Amino acid sequence: MSLRKTLFTLGEYYHIYNRGNSKQKIFLDKEDYNHFIQLLFLCNTNENINFRDIFITFDNIYDFKRGNTLVDIGAYCLMPNHFHLLIYEKSNSNISLYMKKLLTAYVMYFNKKYERTGSLFEGKFKSQHSDSDGYLKYLFSYINLNPIKLIQRDWKKTGVKNKIQAYNFAINYKYSSFNFLRSKNEIEVHKIINIKHFPEYFLNFRDYKEEIFEWLSFS
C-alpha cells in the first residue's frame, strides 16, 4: 500500500486537489457542479449519511443539521476537469475521512448518472501543506483565480491582459467560493465556508480584494 507524502497535522492548512483520469472532465453539466457543491456541505459531518439514493433532491439541503464538522473550508473552486479546496485540519485524520466521503459519494453519483464504472479521478487526491502565511495567501489567491484559465489559458505565463475583466470573471464564476464575503445571498457558499480558524485577511472583503489584485499584478 502506498503512503501519502503529506501527513495532515492538527491546526494546519492544506491545498487539496485532484483531476479526472487522463484529464477527462469530471463535471459535464450544471447539475454535476451543483451536486459536488452540495456534497462539500453534506459530507462535512461526523454523522453517517446514506448516499444510496444519490439522486435525491434536497429542497432545503443547507438546513441539514450536520452536528460537528470534520474540517473547515476556506476556499474552493470547481473546474471542468479538476477541483481545488483549501482546508484546515480540525482534528487528526479528519481531512482524509472527509475526502473519502466526498469523493466516494461523487463517483457513485457520476457513475450512476452516466452509466459508467471504474475510477473517475487520477489516483488519490493530492495535497500541499501551507507552512507559511505567505504561501497560504498565495493558495487563497491561486484557488479563487483559477477560473481565469477559462478565458485566458496562458495568463499565469504571459500575465493578465485585462485585470478588471479577469477579476470580474473570477468573482462571478458560479462554482467557486470567491464571492462569499461580498454576497449575502449565496447561502450555500456561506454554509460551506467556515473561516473561523483562518487568518484575519479572510474576514475583510477589502483586504480580500486587495490581496487578489496584488496577486494578479505580479502574476
Per residue in 9-36, pLDDT (tens digit) is 999 999 999 999 999 999 999 999 999 9
Long-range contacts of range 131-138, CB-CB < 8 Å, 24 or more positions apart?
131/12, 133/199, 136/13, 136/199, 137/201, 137/211, 137/215, 138/215
Residue 1 lies in a domain: no
pLDDT digits (tens, 9 = 90+) for 67-77: 899 999 999 99
Residue 192 lies in a domain: yes
Residue 94 lies in a domain: yes
pTM over 0.85, yes/no: yes
- Please report the pLDDT score of residue 188 as a whole number: 63
Residue 90 lies in a domain: yes
Residue 172 lies in a domain: yes
Mean predicted confidence (pLDDT) in 43-69: 73
Residue 5 lies in a domain: no
Domain coverage including residue 126? 13-218
- Please report the pLDDT score of residue 54 as a whole number: 47
Domain count, the chain: 1
Residue 2 lies in a domain: no
Residue 71 lies in a domain: yes
CATH number for position 160: 3.30.70
Interacting residues of 98 by C-beta distance below 8 A, sequence separation 6+? 43, 44, 70, 71, 87
